[in-house]
């Protein structure tokens, strides 16, 4: 498994990660989500051994990964940039990585290359962005590592390219229990590909849970109350529905209709509302994107300009 234990990473006076604790089990499709500068890419570079932490530990299968060849050979990191490979042909790039990864499979490489019809002898800088992404994903999968890290893997790809790349990843995850860690602003993709996710903000973990548990623990409720009580107008505040075990993330009123986002057991939340004798209570499903927004809203961060649908 991958473990970060009380990990701190700094760049001069800036603290990118502030005492992170994170565990990623083998066979997991794990998503890293968060605002710009939250620390997602820094975590991937620590796991791949590019960065060393100022303090704490970064472990691959119980071994420190930094400056450890054996641990690094278990990990393949796909950066969000491929410009450094522009002068390589696909064949040359394959041979370059093959020299570092003893587990490299020519069979897997050629099978995937034929599916995508990528040319072997053309320079990478002549490829489209989608072709470049396919090329590095093919090589990453052919290296047959235990762990594959992807930083904004689908950014800028057209819908057809996205489908091709995602299918290659999903097939590998199913065929050999590949552990995949994906950093992305696109929460729809995280929702489709990952079974577990961590939300980061300002270098800290807000939550790290199964996505189904995340969705099951946050609820969007529309409630309607009578506007008068004993002949007097009534406007409730969220404090009027305070209840142990319930955390209000968002509370909004429009005349007699109240829109509420709350964390906790749904029956407990309903009970906290029922004391005011609502005319209607309706539970509305939340998307992962909405949960992301409301979690960060509580922290005083406007995430609306930093995520994709």
**Strand 179-183 to 29-34 pairing:** parallel
Per the model's pLDDT, the better-predicted residue between 302 and 106 turns out to be: 106
**pLDDT, tens digit (0-9, with 9 covering 90-100), for 54-112:** 999 999 999 999 999 999 999 999 986 666 677 889 999 999 999 999 999 999 999 99
176-218 pLDDT, tens digit per residue, is 889 999 998 778 888 888 999 999 988 999 889 898 888 888 8
Q: Distance from CA of residue 28 to its chain's centroid?
A: 12
Give pLDDT tens digits for 214-239.
888 889 999 998 877 665 667 888 88
pLDDT at 32: 94
This prediction's pTM: 0.82
Contacts of residue 249, Cβ cutoff 8 Å, sequence gap at least 6: 218, 261, 262, 263, 294, 295, 297, 298
Evaluate whether 40 touches 33 at the Cβ level (below 8 Å).
Answer: yes
pLDDT of 245 above 90: no
Domains of the chain: 2-212 (3.40.50.300), 218-298 (3.30.70)
């Amino acid at each position: 498994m991958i473990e970060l234990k009380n990990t701190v990473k700094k760049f001069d006076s800036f603290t990118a990660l502030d005492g992170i604790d994170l565990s990623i089990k083998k066979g997991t499709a794990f998503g890293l989500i968060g605002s710009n500068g939250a620390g997602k890419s820094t975590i991937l570079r620590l796991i791949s051994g590019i960065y060393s932490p100022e303090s704490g530990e970064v472990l691959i299968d119980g071994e420190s990964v930094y400056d450890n060849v054996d641990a690094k050979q278990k990990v393949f990191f796909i950066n969000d940039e491929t410009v450094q490979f522009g002068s390589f042909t696909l064949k040359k790039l394959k041979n370059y990585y093959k020299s570092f990864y003893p587990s490299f499979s020519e069979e897997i490489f050629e099978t995937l290359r034929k599916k995508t019809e990528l040319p072997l002898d053309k320079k990478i800088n002549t490829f489209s962005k989608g072709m470049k992404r396919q090329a590095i994903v093919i090589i990453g999968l052919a290296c047959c590592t235990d762990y594959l890290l992807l930083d904004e893997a689908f950014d800028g790809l057209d819908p057809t390219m996205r489908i091709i790349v995602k299918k290659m990843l999903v097939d590998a995850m199913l065929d050999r229990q590949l552990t995949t860690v994906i950093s992305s602003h696109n929460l729809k993709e995280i929702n489709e590909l990952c079974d577990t996710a961590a939300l980061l903000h300002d270098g800290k973990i807000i939550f790290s849970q199964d996505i189904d548990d995340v969705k099951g623990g946050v609820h969007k409720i529309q409630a309607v109350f009578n506007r008068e009580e004993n002949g007097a107008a009534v406007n409730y505040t969220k404090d009027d529905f305070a209840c142990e075990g319930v955390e209000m993330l968002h509370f909004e009123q429009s005349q007699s209709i109240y829109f509420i986002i709350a964390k906790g057991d749904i029956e407990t939340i309903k009970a906290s509302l029922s004391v005011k004798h609502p005319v209607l209570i309706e539970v509305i499903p939340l998307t992962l994107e909405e949960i992301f927004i409301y979690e960060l809203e509580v922290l005083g961060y406007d995430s609306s300009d930093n995520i994709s649908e």
